[in-house]
Chains A and B, each alone.
Chain A
Amino acid sequence: MTTVTGEAGAPRRTPAARSGVLRQAWINRTDYLYVLPALVVMLIVIAYPIYYTIDLSFFKTPPGLQLKDKVFIGLENYTAILTSEVFWRVTLNTIIWTLASTVVSFVFGLGSALALHRDFIGRGVLRAILIIPWVISAVAASYIWKWIYHSDFGVIGAVLVELGLLSRPPNFIDSVNTVLPSLIVVNVWREFPFAMIMLMAGLQTVPDQLLRAAQVDGASAWQRFWHVTFPHLRSVSTVTVLLLAVANFNSFIIPWIMTGGGPSNASHIWITHIYELAFGRQRWGVAAAYSVLLFIILMTLGYFYVRALSRGERKEAEG
């Protein structure tokens, strides 16, 4: 609350400035009273769960005891997590999942946005079709893809065997090597329309005159894209990538429904692993410690997201 937009450029706050902020807060105390109910609600639904999760992360929760009988063990849960093989496996999966899903979704989204930015017959229909994966329920989509991939009943396997290309249906989600790429394909299929919509909106802001002027100056299509279009998309691209990254980092539905993190933890990402630890295996303390680590990472990503947004707003204000 104390970081006011107008002060963002100040190099360092002096004690006088800090007291000035407090004075301002006192002067505007009636305003703060107006937002107090919202603040209280936020404290209950956000601050308390955060506090409780951090607190729980220092306790052991054995299967034979109720949660209220938990045993204080200090940082043991964190040590156990950071020294476990599963943690590093799941972390690597999460990084691959997040990076691949984000980058590929963005690239596909950009390509689709550029293609649909041109005027052609059937553009509206095509745009509507491309948005379908994004509007379909993630749960329904996961079940559909699960059956498409199914090694014994799946359409893909059946077609490949029927065409004589393979003697046995391929293993998409039953193999430790192919399960994660297979899930990433589904995630990209679902997410790229979001990137497309965001970037299509960004493309509306590219001045037509600049593109025409570049064309008159002999710039190639690539040069026009790289030197004119892309710089105008930078802010929206940053926001899109950050939103995709946070969403992918927090993904649950697709990996959980399609594989439950298996086989052999090969498709467990942080969120599914945390859920499994807490609700499947009742390791509430360990799951809480995982959640705290995840919270720190997401807050860091959030910081960059807010910074990117603020920079965009400042540029707009300057422009």
Chain B
Amino acid sequence: MTSLKLGAAVLRGAVASAFLASAMSTSALAAPPVDLSKWSPDYVKSIAGTKDFDTAADCAKVTPLDYKGHLTFWYQGVFEGDPDVLRQYYKEFFETFRKTYPNIDLEEQGITYNDLLDKFRTALLGNAAPMAIRLQILGGTEFAAKGYLQPLKPEDVGYSTEDFWPGAMKAVTWQGVSYGIPTNNETMAFIWNADIFKRAGLDPDKPPATWDDVVKYSKQIHDKLGIAGYGLVARKNAGNTPYRFMPQLWAYGGGVFDEASANPTYQNVELDSPQSKQALQASYDMYVRDKSVPVSALTNQQADNQPLFLAGQLGMMISHPSDYNVMQDLLKKTTGTDTAKAQTVIDNMRYGLIPTGPDGKRAVVFGGSNIHILKPEYVEGGKVDEPAAKALICMWTSPEWSLKMAYVGSNPGNLNGFLTTLMKERLEKTKFLDVTTSMLPYGIPFPALPQSPEIMNIIVPDMLQNALTGAMTVDQAADDAAKKVKDLMSGGGL
């Protein structure tokens, strides 16, 4: 299996070393439950199923199970691109919480990724926020910086800081104080259709090694078969669109700041560096010069790539392991001859590591979500039921549920989740999971700054669309984006 060969390459590379060094330095006080220095698919398999946890008993130490209270909770829930199995686990979680804490009156509201931040910001302006919220990884810092969130660390809900990925803890920390707990963490992988590769004259078992190869392969697929080669997405930040451009940007040696370095300072803007421009040029070449990506790339997000891929109209894309399950879900909805076509695509679906840049640099966004508690003055009614909020957070971030809620799309935020029996079962059932877990050491957390959501908008769609539509040249688009980020950081600009 390709993924196993790829897994053996995990511990190589400078990015991995930097990550591990960072991991070691943060774990000086207590050892993490897993040995991050040994991280590889084989290691993940060896630790799975070695420990059992009793979630209810653990959370009872934080909030007694007979506690009577009321909790309002918003969460970034499942969306159109997620598989059905995830919907089932979300449903099961809330049912289990109500059974475990029968006297807590829970009012939960699932909001999609793209709407959550806008809705939350608006609610905060009217002091009508929920008591607790689960936000995308980038969301927390903005609200912590603005003073909306209460300090919250894993120890507050019965866990240890070392139970979580060091990179994930950075994303919930603002000015040295922790304001949330990671629920799940993820890195994506490179997916290709072996059948399309074969028909286009490419080696079906060999994914592109570099981003330059992606450009070449994409053109070859398009020229030979008349379909889209690579699933470029450039729609307004729909969460997953920057996640597909940033690995490319970092691999070429570029970045927004120096976030890809071992010790980022976030001081100098590097979006206009020659390396960043090279990354943008690669996208320009695919969309404008070669026309080898979907015509609708400017209005596409990953959910739009999925049906194209299943229809055999797309050769390569970046995504989660869950895309395999999504394809299975979509297959059930096909009829007639489409079913056989879709089955062929699924049989030919392959996962590999995300390509490197010209200098062998491999990178991926270290993504995920975090859970937070609001300060009472911003909550509807002016009160926060902290024991109720901590009960829910304890359950969600437990080894058991942080794994279940991430089941096919992500990884448990709580590293103990990797030790559970369910993890063993998950590794057996979820195809290609080992590839995405192999990408974890290459994960780069996006700058934990209050300006980060806006910086994402400056990259996608602003910079990418300006270059790809011809509104600006590649150089102008990169310079314009760099200027916008500088203005933003200095508090100026529109």
Binding site for B on A (CB under 8 A): 60, 62-67, 80-81, 84, 86, 146, 150-153, 157, 168-169, 171, 173-176, 259-266, 277, 279-283, 286
For A87, the closest partner residue in chain B by CB is B494
Q: Which 6 A-B pairs have the closest CB atoms?
A: A151-B295, A151-B296, A64-B450, A264-B471, A264-B465, A174-B298
Q: Is B313 an interface residue (CB 8 A)?
A: yes
Whether the pair A65, B121 counts as a contact (CB closer than 8 A) is: no
Using Cβ atoms and an 8 Å threshold, which residues of chain A touch B295?
151-152, 157, 168-169, 171, 174
Within 8 A of A (CB), among B406-458: 450-451, 454, 457
Given contacts A67-B125, A263-B469, A279-B121, contact A153 B451 (CB under 8 A): no
Whether the pair A175, B469 counts as a contact (CB closer than 8 A) is: yes
Q: Is B297 an interface residue (CB 8 A)?
A: yes
CB-defined A-B contacts under 8 Å, sample of 7:
A67-B125, A151-B295, A152-B228, A157-B295, A260-B236, A263-B469, A264-B469
Give CA–CA (A60, B492) in the complex, Å.
Answer: 9
Whether the pair B488, A63 counts as a contact (CB closer than 8 A) is: yes
Whether the pair B118, A151 counts as a contact (CB closer than 8 A) is: no
Whether the pair B148, A66 counts as a contact (CB closer than 8 A) is: yes
Q: Is the interface of A mostly helix, strand, loop or mixed?
A: loop
Whether the pair B471, A62 counts as a contact (CB closer than 8 A) is: no
Whether the pair B147, A66 counts as a contact (CB closer than 8 A) is: yes
For B236, the closest partner residue in chain A by CB is A260
Given contacts A175-B469, A264-B471, A279-B121, contact A63 B296 (CB under 8 A): no
Q: Chain B 279-298, CB within 8 Å of chain A: the 1/0 string?
A: 00000000000010011111
Whether the pair A264, B461 counts as a contact (CB closer than 8 A) is: yes
Give CA–CA (A264, B142) in the complex, Å.
Answer: 26
Whether the pair B491, A62 counts as a contact (CB closer than 8 A) is: yes
Q: Is B145 an interface residue (CB 8 A)?
A: yes
Given A67-B125, A264-B462; 4 other pairs, CB 8 A cutoff = A63-B451, A63-B454, A174-B299, A264-B471
How many residues from B make CB contacts under 8 Å with A? Answer: 41
CB distance from B444 to the nearest CB of A (A): 22
Give CA–CA (A65, B147) in the complex, Å.
Answer: 8
Using Cβ atoms and an 8 Å threshold, which residues of chain B touch A80?
493-494
Given contacts A151-B295, A260-B236, contact A286 B494 (CB under 8 A): yes
Q: Which of A65, A152, A279 contacts B294 (CB 8 A)?
A: A152
For B313, the closest partner residue in chain A by CB is A152
Using Cβ atoms and an 8 Å threshold, which residues of chain B touch A259?
299
Using Cβ atoms and an 8 Å threshold, which residues of chain B touch A282?
121, 454
Using Cβ atoms and an 8 Å threshold, which residues of chain A touch B146?
64-66
Using Cβ atoms and an 8 Å threshold, which residues of chain B touch A157?
295
Given contacts A86-B494, A168-B295, contact A176 B488 (CB under 8 A): no
Whether the pair B494, A176 counts as a contact (CB closer than 8 A) is: no
CB distance from A160 to the nearest CB of B (A): 12
Using Cβ atoms and an 8 Å threshold, which residues of chain B touch A62?
491
Whether the pair B291, A262 counts as a contact (CB closer than 8 A) is: no
Give CA–CA (A151, B235) in the complex, Å.
Answer: 14
Using Cβ atoms and an 8 Å threshold, which residues of chain B touch A264?
461-462, 465-466, 469, 471
For A86, the closest partner residue in chain B by CB is B494
